[in-house]
């Protein structure tokens, strides 16, 4: 008898078996789910805001025009091209004295803010790299004095809220003659009035942004300097290459990846900065959006789309620059530690210079905010001339009843103000929930991507998780503002947590990915052979081994969320979280309350940072050399 041939499996069965085999691995199933979730939560809000640019907005100028007007082309019943044609084609006529000046809408609302945004981003990159890079070189490659103290204080501006240095700049240089209002500390002490370009506009915004992101450059560039292979520089020394030539031809090319990363990340962050241009009065895309969002919502959404395009462009450049990095090999030399440059007397001179600069950027803001809360008229430093007696008060802190006199405007003191502490509680709720969700998702992404290193889907999920970090914060906030308004979750903790989670996932995912890539696969394979379930493998093997990096993935979103303003200011009303109350008190003229809130935030963030360092041993400047 002839054997009966078994039927061949169909193509459908083969595909199903292949899919079942693929999804039977937990990392593949998690990666598929996270890819879908990230696509929806990242791309859908962006699509929503793009649609908002062609929508009619009731109550705004967009809807105030007649649909039959020649300038409006209605598609269906609700879509229109008016927002685009009005922004790029229309003109505005203004009267200056007896002259009538006609300007295009685009030049006022788009090109000028766009130019300012690009300029401050470029200047912030150069300033941060120059200041942070020089400090990184001095700490890691020279015998500079007081390294431990300087390294710890240098990162303060990055830890503190972004607008801290902007407010300090106002308190230092503002004057009644130049900017209006009270004379700042510099005028009260030295009676020197700085020009307006120094007090407001492009220059101070660029300087403050550079100082804020200089610690970021220090962390990235300093890490490369610290871990640089000594063979290359020693080879150049053996070949009698001058030290300056070694630095420019050998050292700098090795630091190039860190410099490029700093440029991309600082540029994207500065592009979407709102508080600093707002306080220092520079018209950028961020400030222009806020000014237009109420009566020109459609045109404002176009500005947000342009900011998003910059984020996509930065992502593409980041992919190009990191995909083809060069490797260097020595032709002579021996292994060893990088030589330390002897600065001689310069080690004291430069140390004093950086002691002064770090004091101004790290310690002075805290002191000024504290002093502001005890001045009867915040910003008025005349007591420096006439003496402290009679020029200090505790009313801004200790007033226990609603007072309409003495400039309190019916507010209780900070310690007794229920609105402030309710907002503080809301901030803690949002920060904790964002940290838990972003930290968990980021850790899972890092684990799954490390297990599928050559998978295109893993690369897509990794890029999708990192994209929000490269997007300007205001652009992400606008996307979720439009999305939340459409689905009815505006001014809820759900929307704040959703936006914060998407924005902060890169912190956790990058931290987890870097640590998981260093973990040998044999460790987990041994557990798989023993039939240990995936959940048990994660909690008994993976997490204990990489607990420091995983904890950092939870704490970074938490600490960043505490000081976030740009991302959240459009997503909720005043008083929901504490950072949104700053503008409210500034508008009321209660600057002591704003200073008190800033002081509370700074002290709280520094306290959490110190606690993290104590419990985990991790710090932002760890491994750079600041501890020596």
404 and 422 fall within a common domain:
no
CA distance 342 to 380: 46
Query: How much is the pLDDT for 93?
Result: 60
The verdict on residue 103 lying in a domain is no
Contact 614, 136 (CB under 8 A): no
> How far is Cα 290 from Cα 303, in angstroms, rounded to an integer?
10
Pair 462, 521 in one domain: yes
- Same-domain pairing of 189 and 308: yes
Measured CA to CA, the distance from residue 362 to residue 605 in angstroms comes to: 13
Are 289 and 424 contained in the same domain?
no
One domain for residues 276 and 218 = yes
Residue 466 lies inside a defined structural domain of this protein = yes
Q: Are residues 154 and 281 in the same domain?
A: yes
pLDDT computed for residue 323 by the predictor: 56
Look up the CATH number of the domain holding residue 145.
1.10.3720.10
Strands 91-96 and 79-80: unpaired
Whether 566 and 619 map to the same domain: the answer is no
**Same domain? 351 vs 484:** no
* Same structural domain, 366 and 506: no
Q: Is residue 365 part of a domain?
A: yes
Give yes or no: residues 423 and 501 share one domain: yes
Which pLDDT score, from 0 to 100, does residue 430 have? 93
Same domain, 374 and 429: no
Q: Does 465 map to a domain?
A: yes
In a domain, 538, yes or no: yes
- Secondary structure of residue 243 in the 3-state scheme: helix
Closest alpha carbon to 122 in 198, 202, 224, 199: 202
DSSP 260-283: HHHHHHHHHHHHT--HHHHHTT--
Say yes or no: 269 and 371 in one domain: yes
The residue whose two tokens read 């684990």 is 447
Please state, in angstroms and rounded to a whole number, the distance separating the CA atoms of residues 439 and 435.
5
Is 72 inside a domain boundary?
no
Question: Helices (H) and strands (E) in the chain — how many of each?
Answer: 32, 4
- pLDDT at 15 (0 to 100): 73
Q: Mean pLDDT of successive 10-residue segments in the chain (628 residues)?
A: 57 72 78 88 85 74 47 54 80 62 77 93 93 89 86 86 88 84 80 89 94 87 72 69 73 76 84 90 91 81 87 78 53 53 85 92 88 82 61 80 67 86 92 92 87 83 84 86 87 92 85 72 77 82 78 82 88 86 82 88 83 68 51
Residue 183: domain span: 109-331+341-411+600-628
Number of separate domains in the chain: 2
Q: Is residue 83 part of a domain?
A: no
pLDDT of residue 434: 93
In a domain, 4, yes or no: no
């Amino acid at each position: 008898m002839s054997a009966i041939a078994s039927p061949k499996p169909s193509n459908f069965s083969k595909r199903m078996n292949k899919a079942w085999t693929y999804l039977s691995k937990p990392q593949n199933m998690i990666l598929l789910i996270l890819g879908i979730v990230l696509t929806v939560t990242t791309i859908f809000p962006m699509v929503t805001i793009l649609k908002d640019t062609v929508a009619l907005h009731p109550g705004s100028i967009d809807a105030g025009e007649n649909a039959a007007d020649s300038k409006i082309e209605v598609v269906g019943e609700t879509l229109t091209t008016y927002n685009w044609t009005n922004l790029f084609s229309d003109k505005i006529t203004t009267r200056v004295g007896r002259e009538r000046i006609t300007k295009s809408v685009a030049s006022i609302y788009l090109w000028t803010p766009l130019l300012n945004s690009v300029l401050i981003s470029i200047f912030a990159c150069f300033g941060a790299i120059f200041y942070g890079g020089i400090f990184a070189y001095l700490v890691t490659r020279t015998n500079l004095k007081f390294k431990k103290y300087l390294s710890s204080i240098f990162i303060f501006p990055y830890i503190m809220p972004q607008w801290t240095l902007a407010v300090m700049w106002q308190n230092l240089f503002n004057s009644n003659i130049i900017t209006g209002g009270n004379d700042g500390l510099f005028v009260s002490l030295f009676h020197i009035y700085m020009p307006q370009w120094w007090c407001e506009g492009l220059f101070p915004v660029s300087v403050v942004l550079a100082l804020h992101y200089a610690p970021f450059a220090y962390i990235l560039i300093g890490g490369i300097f610290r871990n640089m292979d000594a063979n290359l520089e020693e080879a150049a020394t053996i070949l009698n290459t001058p030290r300056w030539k070694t630095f420019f031809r050998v050292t700098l090319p090795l630091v190039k990846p860190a410099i490029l990363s700093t440029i991309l990340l600082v540029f994207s962050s500065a592009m979407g900065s709102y508080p600093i241009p707002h306080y220092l009065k520079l018209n950028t895309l961020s400030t222009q959006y806020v000014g237009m969002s109420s009566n020109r919502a459609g045109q404002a959404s176009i500005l947000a789309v342009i900011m998003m395009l910059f984020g996509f462009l930065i992502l593409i450049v980041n992919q190009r620059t990191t995909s083809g990095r060069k490797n260097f090999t020595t032709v002579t030399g021996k292994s060893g530690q990088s030589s330390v440059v002897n600065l001689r007397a310069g080690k004291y001179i430069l140390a004093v210079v950086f002691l002064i600069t770090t004091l101004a950027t790290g310690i002075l803001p805290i002191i000024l905010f504290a002093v502001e809360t005890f001045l009867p008229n915040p910003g008025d430093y005349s007591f420096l001339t006439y003496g402290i007696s009679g020029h200090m008060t505790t009313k801004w802190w200790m007033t226990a009843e609603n007072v309409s006199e003495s400039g309190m405007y019916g507010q209780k003191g900070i310690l007794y103000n229920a609105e402030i502490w309710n907002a503080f509680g809301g901030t803690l709720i949002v920060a904790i929930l964002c940290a838990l969700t972003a930290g968990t998702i980021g850790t899972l992404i890092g684990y799954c991507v490390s297990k599928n290193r050559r998978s295109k889907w893993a690369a897509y999920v990794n890029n999708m998780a990192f994209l929000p970090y490269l997007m300007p914060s205001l652009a992400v906030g606008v996307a979720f503002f439009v999305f939340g308004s459409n689905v009815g979750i505006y001014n809820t903790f759900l929307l704040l947590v959703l936006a914060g989670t998407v924005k902060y996932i890169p912190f956790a995912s990058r931290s987890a990915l870097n640590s998981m890539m260093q973990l040998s696969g044999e460790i987990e394979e041994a557990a798989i052979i023993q039939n240990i379930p995936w959940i048990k493998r994660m909690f008994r093997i993976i997490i204990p081994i990489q607990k420091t990096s995983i904890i950092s993935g939870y704490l970074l979103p938490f600490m960043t969320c505490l000081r976030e303003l740009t991302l959240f200011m459009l997503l909720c009303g005043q008083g929901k979280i504490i950072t949104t109350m700053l503008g409210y008190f500034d508008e009321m003229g209660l600057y002591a309350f704003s200073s008190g809130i800033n002081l509370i935030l700074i002290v709280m963030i520094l306290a959490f940072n110190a606690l993290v360092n104590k419990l985990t041993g991790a710090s932002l400047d760890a491994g750079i050399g600041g501890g020596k």
